Amino acid sequence: MTNVLEAKGLTKYYGRRKALTDCTITIPTGRVVGLVGPNGAGKSTLLQLACGLLSPTSGTIEVLGGRPNSGPAQVAKVGFVAQDTPTYAGLTVAEHLTFGARLNPGWDAGTAERRIATLGLDPEQRAGKLSGGQRAQLALTLAVAKRPELLILDEPVASLDPLARREFLQSLMEFTVEHEASVILSSHLVADLERVCDYLIVLAAGRVQVAGEVDELVDTHHRLTGARCDPATLPVGQQLVYAGHTTKQSTLVVRSTAPIDDPAWIVEPLSLEDVVLAYMTDAAGRTRVLEPQR
């Protein structure tokens, strides 16, 4: 089965600033993938490279077995909702659907019209008069009515209130179940990703810090607390993610597939947010940069 995305040595510069550094990653097909990281981590750059809106400085990227934006057939495979969930303020909801139908040969008018009716959107309402949540839902409708094999969403719920976020994510899950599509969703809000995603990528400092199935990441990461020690003395098989020390105590976050039975340590499980924070803290020089839940 073709992977939904494969990147090898992917690097992107904006002038002299490096946004992505040697990004190598494989994303399996049929997953709902959460992409999380601080501002400036390279999330939007990676997603725009996947859509073909940007070209890499070096390295390669393939999406669904093809080069992004390499032709109409490739473009039709991917739906994209940008960070500001763009719509045209002067066009009505119905005009957006007409516009979408003209641009997309595989347009599913029935899906688009059913979604608009279910959401209670007035077809004659101009997009500029819709709420933020309604505009986000309209943008999602335009993307899913393409019937894409891959749906990419770049922080589409960042500006929404909690109820609008929940409704948007519910719509997203309904789409994935109905059409068996793959999804890549970026967000700062780990709780939202945990609700809908089964695969997670942590991107920080322009690099992939960790990637894997959500359940596996949670099950294999642990917090160890005990007398101050040199992390270099950890047993083989315990991968150090983060180390913090006081004069007498060490607190470590490690990844291990085997149980940790050493009586020298107090061993605690981690939440998904704890795991994300550990990798982001390490990449940012021990500075916690994840935005608080709203």
| 115 contacts 141 by C-beta, under 8 angstroms | yes
Tokens 């992505």 map to which residue? 20
Distance between CA atoms of 124 and 271, rounded to whole angstroms?
Answer: 45
pTM: 0.88
Kindly state the average pLDDT of the residues 94-116: 94
What is the side-by-side strand order in the sheet with 249-255?
239-245, 249-255, 221-227, 266-269
> Out of 142-146, 167-171, 290-294, which region has the weakest mean confidence (pLDDT)?
290-294
pLDDT score, position 284 = 56
- Side-chain half-sphere of 240: how many Cα atoms within 13 Å? 15
- The domain ranges of the chain are 5-214, 220-283
Question: Is it the case that residue 21 has pLDDT exceeding 80?
Answer: yes
Model confidence over 107-126: pLDDT tens digits? 999 999 999 999 899 999 99
Q: Sorting pLDDT into bands at 50, 70 and 90, what band is 283?
A: low
Q: How far apart are CA 294 and CA 284, in angstroms?
A: 22
Encode pLDDT of 27-52 as tens digits.
Answer: 999 999 999 998 888 999 999 999 99
CATH number of 5-214: 3.40.50.300
**Is the model's pLDDT at 174 over the cut of 90?**
no
